[in-house]
Amino acid sequence: MDLGIRGRKALLCGASRGLGRACALALAQEGVDVTIIARGSEALEEAAAEIAAANPVAVKTVAGDVTTKEGRAAALAACSRPDILLNNADGPLPGDYRDWSRNDWIDALDAMMLSPIEMMRLTVDGMMARGFGRIVNIVSRSVKIPQIELGLSNGARSGLVGFVAGLARQTIEHNVTINNLLPGIFDSDAQRQHVRALVEPDGRSFEELWRERAAANPARRFGRPEELGAYCAFLCSEHAGFITGQNLLIDGGSYPGTY
Ligand SMILES: NC(=O)c1ccc[n+]([C@@H]2O[C@H](COP(=O)([O-])OP(=O)(O)OC[C@H]3O[C@@H](n4cnc5c(N)ncnc54)[C@H](OP(=O)(O)O)[C@@H]3O)[C@@H](O)[C@H]2O)c1
């Protein structure tokens, strides 16, 4: 299927590794020019080189932190009129809610709720004026299946999802869609870090916990980042203009509900 987005411009936050990088690659394979953002420049340049080597598109990099005003400004300076926006950054480490201070909560809200909202605020009017826009937020299944040790994520990301539910219904008439992708377990650096953080309290090895997590999923495996990248590319396609305000699980069937 031709996704009909050749020549479009995408701004992808958190895209040097893992799920964000897979989204950038999938869009580049569809002929989209990509601007990718991450804090660390080594992985960023490596990702850009890999994407550019395999695809005849323009690839720009921005080394910056999208949870800061400066980072967002640098991103938009590099790609001032994006047709496609991917919001993505780090999630929180697991912990006990008793240990979280007000500052921990403010940091979580900044990273997982307010930064993506700010990126949308800065780009959505231009998309509406131009008559095309696709915004995808990488969120987490934790907004549908609360994970007890990820309270900061359960809370902050629910705020984002709640905001998007209202905004997405105001932009769709201008062919601007906004959807949230809710990943389950994917094999990425962040997932490995998450499992590593569970090792000590649990007393079992990383390998044991890793295997146990895969076995607990109905697919008996972790998701592959490129599977999420392909989903993201479809949501950004011209064919997906009637899909908006949705919270889309991609989790190997681990969400246990019918609806
Ligand atoms: N993987 C999973 O199983 C899973 C499941 C549910 C939810 N999620 C969520 O999905 C998101 C992506 O996860 P992932 O597994 O792809 O993580 P990952 O492999 O660690 O990749 C995260 C990417 O985002 C960049 N990044 C992080 N914070 C940033 C910031 N403040 N500003 C700019 N770039 C930033 C990282 O580069 P730098 O570190 O160099 O900035 C990296 O390129 C996270 O929010 C995670 O919580 C993941």
- pLDDT score of 202: 67
| CA of 146 relative to ligand 1 center, distance in Å | 19
Regions in the chain scoring below 50 on pLDDT: none
- pLDDT score of 234: 98
- pLDDT score of 18: 98
| CA of 15 relative to ligand 1 center, distance in Å | 8
> What's the 3-state SS for the chain?
CCCCCCCCEEEEECCCCHHHHHHHHHHHHCCCEEEEEECCHHHHHHHHHHHHHHCCCCEEEEECCCCCHHHHHHHHHHCCCCCEEEECCCCCCCCCHHHCCHHHHHHHHHHHHHHHHHHHHHHHHHHHHHCCEEEEEECCHHHCCCCHHHHHHHHHHHHHHHHHHHHHHHHHHHCEEEEEEEECCECCHHHHHHHHHHHHHHCCCHHHHHHHHHHHCCCCCCECHHHHHHHHHHHCCHHHCCCCCCEEEECCCCCCCCC
- pLDDT score of 55: 98
| CA of 135 relative to ligand 1 center, distance in Å | 17
85 lines ligand 1 (CB under 6 A): no
Classify residue 129 as left (phi > 0), alpha (psi -120 to 50) or beta: alpha
| CA of 190 relative to ligand 1 center, distance in Å | 6
- pLDDT score of 88: 98
- pLDDT score of 194: 86
Taking the CA of residue 66 as reference, the ligand 1 atom at the shortest distance is: 32
Taking CA atoms only, the protein residue closest to ligand 1 atom 32 is 65
| CA of 90 relative to ligand 1 center, distance in Å | 4
88 lines ligand 1 (CB under 6 A): yes
